[in-house]
């Protein structure tokens, strides 16, 4: 069957079924001259231990507490948390002006004691420990808070304040904007069809022009509606609502799939590739969430090695816009993933 995007070379709009939004695709803009900000290429030569790093084992953090000499992963409450678990519940309103306090908590997760490692550098077993930690922490936080947001900001271009491999989990009482949008779209599709929206999407995309390395358990795809240049979406092929529900095989294959993707990202421009990623899982509340399918978003900002995609002007005031089609990007990313992981196999062998 011919793909719906076949022949769409002129400027056009694409529909995001997950958030009920549209975006503009203008693939003729990549050849325009660029005299704007040039991103610096990150240094690959980091030490395995940095005595000045507040995340390395045994070092003192900003609040005066000392990290344990951890050998694998390490979790602690963010020393500068954006949410507090003991915030009193206060709601105020006057006319159109409304505000309310938000109760929650923020955790930091160190993926490895190695200062010079990233998720792309880790073995499958090491990455699996991170997956397990995401799941156990989600379950613990979900017992108290409806929304649990697991995420990682990787690289200074995405605001990471420290190169030590780490991510965060924020949990709160309210469902944020993106959660509400995705919940409504998934619920509407489920009520109309009896199927989970993202499982139907996975079936339609599997093996297609935007599939960049799926396996039997996970769909890895540049989404049809991608706004960021090398954006990807990771979806389990079986019905799963939350991270704690993943079984042993799904966790093992997830660790392997993430590693392949992130090594491919680094191989695109032969330099560490910045990104923000995060998991969207069903809210931990008493509502019926049978329509919700677990998934992860990867949002890398770079269009070229030193050229960042900015969401400004038209994007801020009208709707998202991208400069190259998802299909062209998928071709490049598939090649990069194949080359990077073939090299790793040869090196390890």
Q: Which residues are catalytic?
A: 166
Rg (CA), the chain: 21
Other beta carbons within 10 Å of 289: 18
Is the separation of the CB atoms in 129 and 39 below 8 Å? no
Q: Is 323 helix (H, G, I), strand (E, B) or coil?
A: coil
CA distances from 12 to 2, 9, 120, 230 (A): 18, 8, 35, 19
β-strand partners of 70:
none
Chain mean position to CA 249: 21
Ramachandran angles phi, psi of 234, nearest 5° = -120, 120
Kindly state the tokens that stand for 177: 């904007």
Residue tagged 């995401």 (tokens)? 134
Kindly state the tokens that stand for 152: 């990682």
Using alpha carbons only, give the angle 133, 277, 150 rounded to the nearest 5 degrees. Answer: 35
Phi/psi region, residue 339 (left: phi>0; alpha: psi -120 to 50; beta: rest), is alpha
Report which secondary-structure segment, H or E, holds 13: strand 12-16
Q: Where are the alpha helices (DSSP H) in the chain?
A: 124-142, 177-193, 197-205, 248-268, 314-317, 326-348
Ramachandran angles phi, psi of 295, nearest 5° = -165, 160
CA dist 245 and 288 (Å) reads: 16
Chain mean position to CA 225: 16
């Amino acid at each position: 069957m011919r793909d719906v995007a076949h022949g769409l070379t002129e400027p056009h709009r694409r529909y995001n079924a997950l958030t009920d939004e549209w975006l503009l695709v203008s693939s003729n803009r990549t050849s325009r001259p660029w005299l704007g900000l040039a991103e610096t290429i990150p240094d690959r030569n980091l030490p395995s231990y940095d005595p000045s790093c507040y995340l390395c084992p045994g070092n003192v953090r900003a609040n005066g507490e000392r990290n344990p000499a951890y050998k694998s992963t390490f979790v602690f409450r963010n020393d500068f948390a954006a949410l507090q678990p003991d915030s009193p519940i206060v709601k105020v309103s006057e006319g159109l002006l409304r505000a309310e306090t938000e109760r929650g908590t923020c955790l930091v997760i160190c993926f490895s004691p190695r200062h010079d490692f990233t998720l792309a550098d880790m073995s499958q077993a090491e990455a699996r420990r991170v997956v397990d930690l995401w799941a156990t922490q989600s379950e613990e936080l979900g017992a108290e808070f409806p929304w649990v947001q697991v995420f990682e900001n990787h690289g200074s271009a995405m605001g990471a304040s420290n190169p030590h491999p780490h991510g965060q989990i924020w949990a709160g009482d309210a469902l944020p904007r993106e959660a509400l949008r995705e919940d409504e779209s998934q619920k509407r599709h489920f009520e109309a069809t009896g199927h989970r929206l993202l499982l139907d999407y996975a079936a339609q995309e599997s093996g297609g022009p935007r599939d960049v390395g799926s396996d039997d358990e996970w769909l890895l795809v540049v989404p049809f509606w991608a706004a960021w240049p090398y954006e990807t979406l990771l979806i389990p092929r079986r019905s799963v609502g939350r991270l704690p529900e993943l079984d042993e095989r799904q966790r093992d294959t997830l660790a392997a799939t993430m590693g392949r993707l992130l090594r491919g990202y680094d191989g695109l421009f032969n330099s560490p590739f910045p990104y923000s990623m995060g998991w969207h899982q069903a809210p931990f509340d008493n509502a019926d969430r049978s329509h919700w399918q677990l998934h992860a978003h990867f949002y890398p900002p770079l269009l070229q090695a030193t050229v960042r995609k900015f969401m400004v002007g038209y994007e801020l005031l009208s709707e998202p816009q991208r400069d190259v089609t998802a299909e062209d990007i998928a071709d490049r990313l598939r090649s990069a993933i194949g080359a990077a992981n073939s090299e790793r196999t040869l090196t390890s062998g």
